[in-house]
Structure 1
Amino acid sequence: MSESMAVRCPDCGREHLYAAPAYPCACGTPVAPSLNLGAAPTAVTHRTWDEDWVTVRCGSCGREDQWPHPELGCACGTVLRVPVAGALRTLRPRDPHGADPSVRPRTAFQPVTIRTARDAVTAVALYLRWLGYRDVRRADQRQPSGIGLAARGVLAQVDPSVRPASLRDVECLWLTAMTESTDCVYFSLAGYANDARDRADGLGVSLFVLDLTGTPQPVNGAATELVATGSGEA
């Protein structure tokens, strides 16, 4: 279990007991940022990638990944960014048999409920890490729609809009990925137009649909194969 701390809202004065959520590393070990018990929370008034994510090292395999910065929603409507300590902590599993925890089969994906576009990006970033991709970050190049994520060996598009992804959306992602000599994956909340799915099959673009539970579902052969094999980077 991660540690708990009292968090007081600076706007209304309410006090909450908060524990940072733990997320599974690709090796299966749960990791969580260490909270700064002596610092006060701050209200989130605007968002940047650097402030929304924090780097945590897995104590079992040594892998470093970026995870969502701890946040808490107060009943008054204020979103609080909970301070983290400079030294980040890993939750080590206890193995009574003394087995090496650094070599494990991939565990079940733990989804994040999608309520906002940021939640969709968080869910996809976690899913990419679950597939084995390293160093997930914002993509350098912007796409015509949605939000781009990049990692070693892959370019991903997150489309949280209410319209199905179009043929142009899929082709733009594929063309950008070709210029970077990398694979590409598309995640859409509203699904895909028929011609977009046909084109993705021809280009080898993996297509996933996001449901509101935050669980990506493969909708073509390339995506199904990716789920089965993982990235090969872990």
Structure 2
Amino acid sequence: MTDSCVPVRCPVCRRDHTYAPPSYPCACGAPVVPPVARGATVTPVTDRTWADEWVTVRCRTCGRRDQWPHPELECGCGAVLRIPVRAVQAPTATPPVPTTPPATTPPALPRSTPRPRPAFQPVPVRTAQDAVTVAALYLRWLGFGDIRGGVKRAPSGVRVAARGLIALIEPSVQPSSLRDVECVWLSAMAESVTCVCFSLAGYEEAARTRADALSIPLFVIDLTGTPQPVNNAAAELTPPG
């Protein structure tokens, strides 16, 4: 058993598991792994709220604190177990400013080119919640920060709010309909934000036609957990390479 693996006993059927938390890419490119609490009691997931779905994790390389999906394990008995995570320590106090002026140092060289964006790390889709997680991670990778609020049930699918954006995720086997696209577009217009759609089963032809007319990016999430652009608006939103 590696250091990151922890033993987990299902409180429903008493079955023993060995759990290894997933790794996510920090903005600096380093892998980030939620620090699971060894020996803590796991709890079955009976109701989902946005606050419980995400956990703050600190990158050991750059110190950045960010929100990532709360670790979960699916037991063979059907129970979904939420794995406890150690709390992130508060940042240390800023050292006092020295009273004597520091030695003169040469100015830093200007950055001529931005740091390349690390490749998106997919999360395999096995459940509807996995599809929502992939969409949220992809939006963050695209640069939409402050993914917040609740996971709201739309007329169809799940809506996720980010800074300046509303995303509709359809995690079922039903293609997204014209009504789905129009509803999320109207909501975005009412809040003066943009919108984007994700779907596991694709889109009805009328939905694609309307999305093209309204310049709404459409993505399909494949089972590897990689969103694929469906129309030109989505392709323009996706970084090259």
Which residue number corresponds to residue 14 of structure 1? 15
1:177 counterpart = 2:188: yes
Residue 69 of structure 1 aligns to which amino acid in structure 2? H
Structure 1, gaps ≥5 residues long: 90-102, 230-234
Q: Deviations over 1:79-122 (max 9, x none)?
A: 22111111269xxxxxxxxxxxxx73122222122222111101
Q: Which residue of 1 aligns with 2:51?
A: 50
Paired position in structure 1 for 2:126: 115
Larger Rg: 2
User: Is 1:148 aligned with 2:159?
Assistant: yes
Deviation at 1:139, TM superposition (A): 5.2
Q: What are the Cα deviations for residues 49-91 of structure 1, in whole angstroms up to 9, with x where unaligned?
A: 22222122335555443211111223343322111111269xx
When structure 1 is superposed on structure 2, of 194-203 and 5-14 the one drifting more is: 5-14
1:127 maps to what in 2? 138
Match of 1:187 among 198, 201, 205: 198
CA distance in 2, matches of 1:172, 1:78: 34
% of aligned pairs identical?
Answer: 62
Q: Cα deviations across residues 100-159 of structure 1 (Å, max 9, x unaligned)?
A: xxx731222221222221111011111111112112234576532110011112211001
* Two-structure CA RMSD over aligned residues (Å): 2.4
Which residues in structure 2 correspond to 1:81-96 (within 5 Å)? Answer: 81-87=82-88
Distance across 2 between alignment mates of 1:59 and 1:12 = 36
Alpha carbons of 1:226 and 1:61: their partners in 2 closer, same or farther (altered >3 Å)? Answer: farther
C-alpha contact (below 8 Å) 1:2/1:32 kept by paired residues: no
Per the alignment, do residues 140 and 119 of structure 1 end up closer, same or farther by CA in structure 2, a change over 3 Å counting?
closer
Decide whether the 8 Å contact of 1:153 with 1:183 is kept in 2: yes
TM-score norm. by structure 1 comes to 0.81
Structure number with the bigger relative contact order (C-alpha 8 A, sep ≥ 6) is: 1
Hey, which bits of structure 1, 4+ residues long, moved more than 4 A? Answer: 59-63, 138-142
Q: Which moved more, 1:135-144 or 1:22-31?
A: 135-144
Question: What is the alpha-carbon distance in structure 2 between the residues aligned to residue 18 and residue 88 of structure 1?
Answer: 23
Taking the aligned partners of 1:54 and 1:211, their CA distance within structure 2 comes to: 25
Contact 1:146 1:158 in 2 (8 A): yes
Return the alpha-carbon distance in structure 1 between the equivalents of residues 153 and 74 of structure 2: 30
| 2:239 aligned partner | 228
Amino acid at match of 1:215: T
Structure 2: 5+ residue stretches without partners: 91-113
User: Under a length normalisation based on structure 2, what TM-score does the superposition of the two structures give?
Assistant: 0.79
In 1, are the aligned partners of 2:53 and 2:70 still within 8 Å (CA)?
yes
When the two structures are aligned, how many residues end up with a matched partner?
A: 216
Other-structure match for 1:100: none
